[in-house]
Structure 1
Amino acid sequence: MTPELGIIEGFYGRPWTWAEREEAAVCLSFHGYRFYHFAPKADLFLRRRWQEPHPAEDAVRLASLSYVCRAHGMRFGVGLSPYEVYRDFNADVREALTRKLAFLDEIGIDDLAILFDDMGGDIPDLAQRQVEIAHWIGERTVASRLLVCPSYYTDDPILDRIFGARPASYLEDLGRLLDPTIEILWTGEEVCAREFSTAHLERVTAQLGRKPFLWDNYPVNDGPRMSQFLHLRAFTGRPASIAAHISAHGVNPASQPFLSRIPALTLPMSYEQGDDYAYGAALKDAATKVLGPDFAETLIGDLLVLNDSGLDRLSESAVMKLRARYSAFDHPAAREIIDWLDGGYRITQEIMDTQ
């Protein structure tokens, strides 16, 4: 059994272009992906400046992306991060939120994710406040599916260190009070989970009172550390057995749109093949489909360098050799590799702090 699969464009740093988004949606729709959630950290009008209207050009392109997704059998959704509105959900905030919801309705959305991540959370009644906002939004959106990302969306203690200690019984309270039709996003035992086990997902289901909607942070490669690597390997640690324990599986892609398709194509294989899934063979199959046989063979031969070594560990001569090697391929993915080698996808802490 394969769960509903989709893309959650939710990474920091340099965003995809509108054309790259539409092309990714079309490509992945042919490989079993059924939703596309637009939530890039670089879109400030969905995050720090959410109360301001989107520029007219962006509104047109969002509507176009929605149309393309729907035309190819994918639900289109948007992730909205109304920064810390739970601290004071006053009349002015509600008016601004009403305007933003009307805008999203107009461009055409099937899914709306209210994202409470990346915000301070050390408030005793945090769950109750967030539930009130989610229910208020649910009464005013045309989206047929509403999702909530908790402030504490993983067991990972790094969130407690950055955003304050999570309130006692936060997840249990959120699950108990939130309308059971509203999905809850979850990234696993870590922000970037190495694997998902049925035991873990069963425990989270009990806490949330519903199956979690996975926000899978692979192959995403944002952040000062991860942007040093190209995450190209096939999916592992996502056994087909978890399908019965999740409501859907969303993939947060890498900064490189074409290269992201390689691991993305292996996730449906993992579910479909079950115990017969072999990640090496899946990688070769996916890479060949995305790149063609010659390019795929070259890329797989360089996995230890591109995927595992890290950009800062490459000597100048190694970078020059790789640039020359991939310049021989007239392909968007080759240009992404060269751009990465040149530092074009490097992410700094300043970028993360301001997006």
Structure 2
Amino acid sequence: MTARSPLAWRGVVEGFYGEPWSHADRLAWFDRAGALGLDHYVYAPKDDPWHREEWREPYPADRLASLASLAAAAEQRGVRFVYAISPGLSMRYDDPEEHRTLAAKCRQLLEAGIHSFALLFDDVPMDEPEALGRAHGETGARFERGFLRPAGIDEPVLLCPTDYAGVAATPYRTGLADALPADARLFWTGADIVVGEVTAEQIRLAVESYGRELVLWDNFPVNDFDRSRVFLGPLTGRATAPGLVGIAANPMVEAAASRFALHTVAEWAADPEAYEPAAAASRAYAEVAGPGEGLRTLVDACSAWPPGAPRWPRLDELVSHERWDAAEALLGRLADTHAEPGTAPDLAVQLAPWVAAARAAGAAGVLACRVLVADTGGPAVPDVDTLLAARRALEAEYADVARGAVLSLLDAALERLGVAPQRGRGDGALIAVLTGENPAPGDRELVEFLGASGFRAHLGDDPAADLLVVTRAAPEQLAASAAGRPVPLLAWGHLVPLGMASASTVPLSLDRIHIADADHPVAAGLDGEVVVYRGRSKLTIGDPPDAAAVVARDPESGRAVIGVTPAGATLADGSVAPAARATFFLAADGFAPWLVTPEARTLLLATVRTLLEPS
């Protein structure tokens, strides 16, 4: 007898940042989703302006027709199309006309054939948490009274709160619970935004903190925070508990490649107690890739989760035991990665960059292993030029398949041949991110990003750090301790106490900066106005010392948002900089993956590398 899943609500939420799925991507997913049991699809692409920034405006006729055809196609395939609207960036909650406008917008969609809705208040500023929570709860209640019930929709209000991660009671959640209908359901991402596990105890605490049933908005296998990677492995580490009534998996930008993971989400959701990740992954591979083995090693190399977990444990184990022959064989299979003749065309196209990267990594790794095993015999040992050429070819691939592990192998092989490691500026440097006891999601994301960029990074201080990052969440005493350290310092918090600015402010509702010195290495080739946030947010402005190079300014006030002060220069408080210092434009949310643009990432990485340059 088949076990009955405790999850009544199962589906996918297209809620990532970046290029949205195409119409064809969505139709192809609907073809699978109903049969898999992931029979809800939440439409929430961040780049649809009528969904988010222009939520008040009716859809133009052509876009409305496209949505109507999607909803009809989903329903025909047994998938419930849920339209999510995200008014939180600009809604005036105390204005009754705003609530009428919200209802009118959804009535346009109702008349087009869409019969399920969700309210999203994720990723918006939260300055007065309890009041904001109450406003969101009241909006949900008015939406139920003013639109859902008059439209004949008897589903509970489905809402994503601004405070959507974590398990503890908060002022926002108190305000939300005071006003939201008792039967409303809330999206929740787990103990953090992207998580490796969701435990029964975490669920219990979260349900208690919200006072409502939860649908797990599972940020798996989403890759919008690191577009160089794909996550092709199975769902792991998920539990159920009373109060968790559903799951909505947030997929990758690559819709076809997401199927490997989403098939396993469907298996887990159908029967959590019987779910076995390895078996589910094997069945998913057969369903998605077909009977051929051409993509098998690529999938294995890209199966790690969460993003900060060891990338390819199988290779790591062989290398740690210096089993070079076995490592060479494994990397040889990676070098032979290919799409089989019967591979679905959309899957072959979307995975093509990672197939190329896998082949480059595999080929380079094979050469390195031949050098490392040379003293025990085997094929002719590659020469230095061959290894360097393989390294350059691997580094040229944007897609990342085991890049870090293979670069380390190449460096070890080059050292065996008497050549120093071929590192770029600051690669391998130890970076300590100073933050508070409860780090902001952006602080965790920063560590992930720096780690993926070739550095050793972690949260918290370290006396051996080569560079310190002072975030706004860092306690005053911890930030002050960084002031006199003779290591480079990057900060967007505590600028005045650190002597890095004579004055600092954080204006609201800005999303771009102006590059004032395009020739400076921190500008990274960017020029003019650069959009750094995916929506209006807070920008840290600081008036740096006279000796600072102002790389970027606030386009409205003209004040500095990126300033670099060299070692030995006089700081704003009259002290001398013991090492290079740089102010940066991030604010309380820091390096949050839902906030910063690729250009912001480029600027931050260029700033880090510049600070780590030898004086």
Fold shared per TM-score above 0.5: yes
Distance 2:85 2:337 in 1: 42
Deviations 1:133-163 (A, max 9, x none): 1112112133433211111100299xxxxxx
Could you tell me how far 1:31 is from its partner in structure 2?
Answer: 0.7
Distance 1:324 1:266 in 2: 22
- Pick one of 125, 135, 141 that aligns with 1:135: 141
Could you tell me how far 1:89 is from its partner in structure 2?
Answer: 3.6
Deviations 1:60-107 (A, max 9, x none): 111111112222222211111113455454255344323312212112
Verify the 8 A CA contact 1:37 1:78 in the aligned structure 2. Answer: yes
Distance 1:253 1:62 in 2: 20
The yes-or-no answer on 1:64 pairing with 2:66 is: no
Q: Whose relative contact order is higher, 1 or 2, with alpha carbons under 8 Å and at least 6 apart?
A: 1
Which residue number corresponds to residue 255 of structure 1? 253
Could you tell me how far 1:307 is from its partner in structure 2?
Answer: 5.0
Verify the 8 A CA contact 1:111 1:144 in the aligned structure 2. Answer: no
Question: What is the one-letter code of the residue matched to 1:338?
Answer: A
Judged with a 3 Å threshold, the aligned counterparts in structure 2 of structure 1 residues 201 and 78 are, in CA distance, closer, same or farther, namely: same
Structure 1's unaligned 5+ residue stretches are 158-166, 311-317
Which residue number corresponds to residue 338 of structure 1? 352
- Pick one of 208, 211, 229 that aligns with 2:210: 208
TM superposition score normalised by structure 2: 0.49
Question: What is the one-letter code of the residue matched to 2:219?
Answer: N
Verify the 8 A CA contact 1:12 1:352 in the aligned structure 2. Answer: no
Q: Equivalent residue of 1:175, what SS?
A: helix
Judged with a 3 Å threshold, the aligned counterparts in structure 2 of structure 1 residues 115 and 274 are, in CA distance, closer, same or farther, namely: closer
Verify the 8 A CA contact 1:230 1:306 in the aligned structure 2. Answer: yes
Which residue number corresponds to residue 227 of structure 2? 227
Verify the 8 A CA contact 2:228 2:399 in the aligned structure 1. Answer: no
Which residue number corresponds to residue 165 of structure 2? 154
Q: Equivalent residue of 1:45, what SS?
A: coil
Deviations 1:251-281 (A, max 9, x none): 1111111111111111232345555533222
Question: What is the one-letter code of the residue matched to 1:154?
Answer: A
Which residue number corresponds to residue 353 of structure 1? 534
Which residue number corresponds to residue 199 of structure 2? 197
Question: What is the one-letter code of the residue matched to 1:325?
Answer: H
Verify the 8 A CA contact 2:165 2:192 in the aligned structure 1. Answer: yes
**Bigger CA drift: 262-271 or 79-88?**
79-88
Verify the 8 A CA contact 2:298 2:337 in the aligned structure 1. Answer: no
Which residue number corresponds to residue 286 of structure 1? 284
Distance 2:285 2:531 in 1: 34
**Bigger CA drift: 20-29 or 272-281?**
272-281
Could you tell me how far 1:244 is from its partner in structure 2?
Answer: 4.1
Q: Equivalent residue of 1:214, what SS?
A: strand
Question: What is the one-letter code of the residue matched to 1:53?
Answer: P
Question: What is the one-letter code of the residue matched to 1:105?
Answer: L
Question: What is the one-letter code of the residue matched to 1:270?
Answer: W
Q: Which has the higher helix share?
A: 1
Which residue number corresponds to residue 164 of structure 1? none
Q: Which has the greater radius of gyration?
A: 2
Alignment of 1:91-102 (within 5 A): 91-102=96-107
Could you tell me how far 1:26 is from its partner in structure 2?
Answer: 2.1
Verify the 8 A CA contact 1:147 1:185 in the aligned structure 2. Answer: yes
Question: What is the one-letter code of the residue matched to 2:534?
Answer: D
The yes-or-no answer on 1:301 pairing with 2:297 is: yes
TM superposition score normalised by structure 1: 0.82
Deviations 1:18-64 (A, max 9, x none): 12112201211111112111001111111011122223222111111
Could you tell me how far 1:246 is from its partner in structure 2?
Answer: 0.8
Distance 1:118 1:330 in 2: 35
Q: Equivalent residue of 2:263, what SS?
A: helix
Verify the 8 A CA contact 2:167 2:203 in the aligned structure 1. Answer: no
Q: Equivalent residue of 2:295, what SS?
A: helix
Deviations 1:89-128 (A, max 9, x none): 4255344323312212112333211111111112141122
Q: Percent identity?
A: 27
Distance 1:18 1:301 in 2: 30
Question: What is the one-letter code of the residue matched to 1:332?
Answer: D
RMSD, aligned α-carbons: 3.0
Question: What is the one-letter code of the residue matched to 1:113?
Answer: A
Which residue number corresponds to residue 109 of structure 1? 114
Number of aligned residues: 328
Distance 2:296 2:533 in 1: 31
Distance 2:159 2:176 in 1: 10
Could you tell me how far 1:190 is from its partner in structure 2?
Answer: 0.7
Question: What is the one-letter code of the residue matched to 2:137?
Answer: V
The yes-or-no answer on 1:238 pairing with 2:238 is: yes
Distance 2:532 2:67 in 1: 23
Judged with a 3 Å threshold, the aligned counterparts in structure 2 of structure 1 residues 91 and 269 are, in CA distance, closer, same or farther, namely: closer
- Pick one of 151, 154, 158 that aligns with 1:144: 154
Verify the 8 A CA contact 1:86 1:129 in the aligned structure 2. Answer: no
Verify the 8 A CA contact 1:11 1:40 in the aligned structure 2. Answer: yes
The yes-or-no answer on 1:266 pairing with 2:256 is: no
Verify the 8 A CA contact 2:141 2:179 in the aligned structure 1. Answer: no
Question: What is the one-letter code of the residue matched to 2:87?
Answer: P
Distance 2:100 2:274 in 1: 53
Deviations 1:183-202 (A, max 9, x none): 11111101112111111111
Q: Equivalent residue of 1:185, what SS?
A: strand
Structure 2's unaligned 5+ residue stretches are 305-310, 313-330, 357-396, 401-529, 536-594, 596-615
Which residue number corresponds to residue 126 of structure 1? 132
Distance 1:273 1:96 in 2: 41
Q: Equivalent residue of 1:194, what SS?
A: coil
Question: What is the one-letter code of the residue matched to 1:353?
Answer: R
Distance 1:92 1:344 in 2: 48
Question: What is the one-letter code of the residue matched to 2:202?
Answer: H
The yes-or-no answer on 1:39 pairing with 2:44 is: yes
Verify the 8 A CA contact 2:53 2:89 in the aligned structure 1. Answer: no
Could you tell me how far 1:8 is from its partner in structure 2?
Answer: 0.8
